[in-house]
Amino acid sequence: MQTGIGGQVSDYLAKTEHDMTRTYLPGILAMAAIVVASNILVQFLLGDFLTWGALTYPLAFLVNDVMNRVYGPSAARRVVWVGFATGVAASLVGSQIIGEFGPLVTLRIAIASGSAFLIAQLLNVAIFDRLRDQRWWKAPLGSTLVGSVVDTALFFSIAFSAALVWMEPGNDVSWANETIPLLGWGPVAPLWVSLAVADWMVKLTLALLALAPFRIIVRKMTQPVA
Protein backbone atom coordinates (compact mmCIF):
# COMPACT_ATOMS: atom_id res chain seq x y z
CA MET A 1 0.00 0.00 0.00
CA GLN A 2 2.81 2.39 0.89
CA THR A 3 4.53 1.59 -2.39
CA GLY A 4 1.33 2.29 -4.27
CA ILE A 5 0.78 5.60 -2.51
CA GLY A 6 4.41 6.53 -3.07
CA GLY A 7 4.07 5.75 -6.76
CA GLN A 8 0.94 7.85 -7.02
CA VAL A 9 2.67 10.76 -5.31
CA SER A 10 5.66 10.44 -7.65
CA ASP A 11 3.38 10.33 -10.69
CA TYR A 12 1.48 13.37 -9.43
CA LEU A 13 4.67 15.35 -8.80
CA ALA A 14 6.03 14.37 -12.21
CA LYS A 15 2.81 15.46 -13.91
CA THR A 16 2.77 18.70 -11.94
CA GLU A 17 6.37 19.44 -12.93
CA HIS A 18 5.55 18.67 -16.56
CA ASP A 19 2.47 20.93 -16.52
CA MET A 20 4.42 23.74 -14.86
CA THR A 21 7.18 23.46 -17.47
CA ARG A 22 4.61 23.69 -20.26
CA THR A 23 3.03 26.71 -18.57
CA TYR A 24 6.36 28.50 -18.29
CA LEU A 25 7.52 27.44 -21.76
CA PRO A 26 6.67 30.73 -23.56
CA GLY A 27 8.66 32.69 -20.98
CA ILE A 28 11.54 30.22 -21.13
CA LEU A 29 11.68 30.35 -24.94
CA ALA A 30 11.42 34.14 -24.95
CA MET A 31 14.27 34.51 -22.45
CA ALA A 32 16.47 32.03 -24.34
CA ALA A 33 15.82 33.83 -27.64
CA ILE A 34 16.67 37.22 -26.13
CA VAL A 35 19.92 35.93 -24.63
CA VAL A 36 21.03 34.29 -27.89
CA ALA A 37 20.06 37.33 -29.99
CA SER A 38 21.86 39.70 -27.63
CA ASN A 39 25.02 37.58 -27.70
CA ILE A 40 25.03 37.87 -31.49
CA LEU A 41 23.97 41.51 -31.83
CA VAL A 42 26.43 42.78 -29.19
CA GLN A 43 29.14 42.28 -31.83
CA PHE A 44 27.69 44.94 -34.15
CA LEU A 45 28.13 48.64 -33.43
CA LEU A 46 25.25 51.11 -33.39
CA GLY A 47 26.84 54.54 -33.49
CA ASP A 48 29.93 55.35 -31.41
CA PHE A 49 28.88 54.07 -27.97
CA LEU A 50 26.28 51.34 -28.49
CA THR A 51 25.80 47.92 -30.01
CA TRP A 52 22.59 46.47 -31.43
CA GLY A 53 22.52 44.14 -28.45
CA ALA A 54 21.65 47.12 -26.25
CA LEU A 55 18.23 47.17 -27.91
CA THR A 56 17.42 43.49 -27.35
CA TYR A 57 18.90 42.62 -23.96
CA PRO A 58 16.60 44.90 -21.89
CA LEU A 59 13.67 42.77 -23.07
CA ALA A 60 14.96 40.13 -20.63
CA PHE A 61 13.71 42.34 -17.79
CA LEU A 62 10.26 42.52 -19.42
CA VAL A 63 10.04 38.74 -19.66
CA ASN A 64 11.25 38.39 -16.07
CA ASP A 65 8.68 40.88 -14.78
CA VAL A 66 5.76 39.32 -16.69
CA MET A 67 6.60 35.86 -15.37
CA ASN A 68 6.94 37.24 -11.85
CA ARG A 69 3.60 39.07 -11.97
CA VAL A 70 1.65 36.19 -13.52
CA TYR A 71 3.28 33.10 -11.98
CA GLY A 72 5.30 34.38 -9.03
CA PRO A 73 9.00 34.67 -8.11
CA SER A 74 9.69 30.93 -8.28
CA ALA A 75 8.68 30.82 -11.95
CA ALA A 76 10.67 33.97 -12.70
CA ARG A 77 13.79 32.50 -11.09
CA ARG A 78 13.38 29.33 -13.15
CA VAL A 79 13.25 31.38 -16.34
CA VAL A 80 16.36 33.32 -15.22
CA TRP A 81 18.32 30.11 -14.68
CA VAL A 82 17.33 28.86 -18.14
CA GLY A 83 18.48 32.17 -19.60
CA PHE A 84 21.76 31.88 -17.71
CA ALA A 85 22.33 28.34 -19.01
CA THR A 86 21.56 29.52 -22.55
CA GLY A 87 24.04 32.36 -22.17
CA VAL A 88 26.76 30.00 -20.96
CA ALA A 89 26.12 27.69 -23.92
CA ALA A 90 26.24 30.63 -26.35
CA SER A 91 29.51 31.81 -24.78
CA LEU A 92 31.05 28.36 -25.14
CA VAL A 93 30.10 28.26 -28.81
CA GLY A 94 31.38 31.80 -29.36
CA SER A 95 34.70 31.01 -27.69
CA GLN A 96 35.31 28.35 -30.34
CA ILE A 97 34.65 30.67 -33.27
CA ILE A 98 37.82 32.52 -34.21
CA GLY A 99 37.40 35.87 -35.92
CA GLU A 100 39.85 38.47 -37.20
CA PHE A 101 40.80 39.55 -33.68
CA GLY A 102 40.55 36.18 -31.90
CA PRO A 103 37.60 34.35 -30.30
CA LEU A 104 34.21 36.01 -30.76
CA VAL A 105 33.62 35.57 -27.02
CA THR A 106 36.60 36.07 -24.69
CA LEU A 107 36.89 34.72 -21.16
CA ARG A 108 36.28 38.17 -19.64
CA ILE A 109 33.21 38.78 -21.80
CA ALA A 110 31.83 35.36 -20.86
CA ILE A 111 32.38 35.94 -17.12
CA ALA A 112 31.04 39.48 -17.31
CA SER A 113 27.96 38.50 -19.29
CA GLY A 114 27.08 35.47 -17.16
CA SER A 115 27.63 37.06 -13.75
CA ALA A 116 25.91 40.34 -14.68
CA PHE A 117 22.89 38.55 -16.11
CA LEU A 118 22.44 36.15 -13.20
CA ILE A 119 22.96 38.66 -10.38
CA ALA A 120 20.91 41.44 -11.99
CA GLN A 121 18.01 39.20 -13.00
CA LEU A 122 17.77 37.47 -9.60
CA LEU A 123 17.91 40.89 -7.93
CA ASN A 124 15.14 41.98 -10.30
CA VAL A 125 13.00 39.04 -9.12
CA ALA A 126 13.53 39.88 -5.45
CA ILE A 127 12.79 43.61 -5.80
CA PHE A 128 9.72 42.99 -7.96
CA ASP A 129 8.35 40.59 -5.35
CA ARG A 130 8.98 43.15 -2.59
CA LEU A 131 7.04 45.82 -4.55
CA ARG A 132 4.35 43.42 -5.79
CA ASP A 133 1.46 44.89 -3.73
CA GLN A 134 2.12 48.53 -4.62
CA ARG A 135 0.86 50.44 -7.69
CA TRP A 136 1.06 48.17 -10.75
CA TRP A 137 3.90 50.12 -12.39
CA LYS A 138 6.18 50.36 -9.36
CA ALA A 139 7.29 46.72 -9.31
CA PRO A 140 8.33 46.44 -12.99
CA LEU A 141 9.87 49.91 -13.11
CA GLY A 142 11.68 49.80 -9.77
CA SER A 143 13.05 46.29 -10.21
CA THR A 144 14.18 46.96 -13.78
CA LEU A 145 15.90 50.24 -12.89
CA VAL A 146 17.90 48.67 -10.06
CA GLY A 147 18.59 45.50 -12.02
CA SER A 148 19.78 47.41 -15.07
CA VAL A 149 22.19 49.54 -13.01
CA VAL A 150 23.73 46.41 -11.47
CA ASP A 151 23.82 44.61 -14.81
CA THR A 152 25.53 47.50 -16.60
CA ALA A 153 28.05 48.18 -13.83
CA LEU A 154 29.04 44.52 -13.50
CA PHE A 155 29.28 43.75 -17.20
CA PHE A 156 31.34 46.72 -18.35
CA SER A 157 33.67 46.82 -15.35
CA ILE A 158 34.40 43.07 -15.47
CA ALA A 159 34.72 43.00 -19.26
CA PHE A 160 36.84 46.11 -19.82
CA SER A 161 38.27 47.72 -16.65
CA ALA A 162 42.06 47.91 -16.64
CA ALA A 163 42.01 46.99 -12.94
CA LEU A 164 40.83 43.48 -13.85
CA VAL A 165 43.28 42.77 -16.65
CA TRP A 166 44.69 39.92 -14.51
CA MET A 167 41.58 37.89 -15.30
CA GLU A 168 42.76 37.38 -18.88
CA PRO A 169 46.22 38.86 -19.46
CA GLY A 170 46.23 37.80 -23.12
CA ASN A 171 43.09 39.80 -23.88
CA ASP A 172 44.06 43.34 -24.90
CA VAL A 173 41.40 45.76 -23.64
CA SER A 174 43.58 48.85 -23.88
CA TRP A 175 41.26 50.26 -26.55
CA ALA A 176 38.42 50.32 -23.99
CA ASN A 177 40.57 52.22 -21.51
CA GLU A 178 41.55 55.06 -23.82
CA THR A 179 40.41 58.28 -22.17
CA ILE A 180 37.90 60.43 -24.04
CA PRO A 181 35.25 63.00 -23.04
CA LEU A 182 32.28 61.11 -21.55
CA LEU A 183 29.85 60.38 -24.42
CA GLY A 184 31.95 62.74 -26.52
CA TRP A 185 31.26 65.91 -24.54
CA GLY A 186 31.51 65.29 -20.77
CA PRO A 187 34.47 64.92 -18.40
CA VAL A 188 37.35 62.74 -19.46
CA ALA A 189 36.90 59.02 -18.65
CA PRO A 190 37.85 55.63 -20.09
CA LEU A 191 35.91 54.70 -23.24
CA TRP A 192 34.25 51.76 -21.49
CA VAL A 193 32.58 54.18 -19.06
CA SER A 194 30.95 55.97 -22.01
CA LEU A 195 29.85 52.58 -23.36
CA ALA A 196 28.34 51.72 -19.97
CA VAL A 197 26.52 55.05 -19.57
CA ALA A 198 25.09 54.87 -23.09
CA ASP A 199 23.99 51.28 -22.51
CA TRP A 200 22.27 52.20 -19.24
CA MET A 201 20.49 55.14 -20.87
CA VAL A 202 19.01 52.74 -23.42
CA LYS A 203 17.96 50.38 -20.62
CA LEU A 204 16.30 53.30 -18.79
CA THR A 205 14.41 54.38 -21.90
CA LEU A 206 13.24 50.86 -22.69
CA ALA A 207 12.23 50.28 -19.05
CA LEU A 208 9.81 53.20 -19.35
CA LEU A 209 8.55 52.13 -22.77
CA ALA A 210 8.11 48.52 -21.58
CA LEU A 211 5.47 49.52 -19.01
CA ALA A 212 2.77 49.60 -21.70
CA PRO A 213 3.45 46.11 -23.15
CA PHE A 214 3.93 44.79 -19.59
CA ARG A 215 0.43 45.99 -18.66
CA ILE A 216 -1.12 44.59 -21.85
CA ILE A 217 0.59 41.19 -21.66
CA VAL A 218 -0.21 40.70 -17.97
CA ARG A 219 -3.86 41.59 -18.52
CA LYS A 220 -4.09 39.17 -21.43
CA MET A 221 -2.41 36.34 -19.54
CA THR A 222 -4.53 36.82 -16.40
CA GLN A 223 -7.83 37.34 -18.21
CA PRO A 224 -10.38 34.67 -17.16
CA VAL A 225 -11.12 32.09 -19.81
CA ALA A 226 -14.76 32.29 -20.93
Q: How far is CA 47 from the centre of its chain?
A: 22
**φ and ψ at residue 178, rounded to 5 degrees:** -65, 135
- In this prediction, residues 113-140 reach a mean pLDDT of 96
Least confident interval from 5-14, 36-45, 107-116: 5-14
Q: Where are the domains of the chain?
A: 2-222
Higher-confidence residue of 79 and 11: namely 79
- 27-31, 43-47, 169-173, 174-178, range with the lowest pLDDT: 43-47
Give the pLDDT band (50/70/90) at residue 100: low
Residue 151 has pLDDT above 90, yes or no: yes
User: How far, in Å, CA of 122 to CA of 86, rounded?
Assistant: 16
pLDDT attached to residue 5: 52
Q: How far apart, in whole angstroms, are the C-alpha atoms of residue 164 and residue 87?
A: 22
* Cβ–Cβ under 8 Å, residues 76 and 128: yes
Q: Which residues contact 198 (CB under 8 A, 6 or more apart)?
A: 49, 50, 54, 183
Averaged pLDDT, 57-85: 95
Please tell me the CATH code under which domain 2-222 is placed.
1.10.1760.20
Predicted TM-score of the model (pTM): 0.86
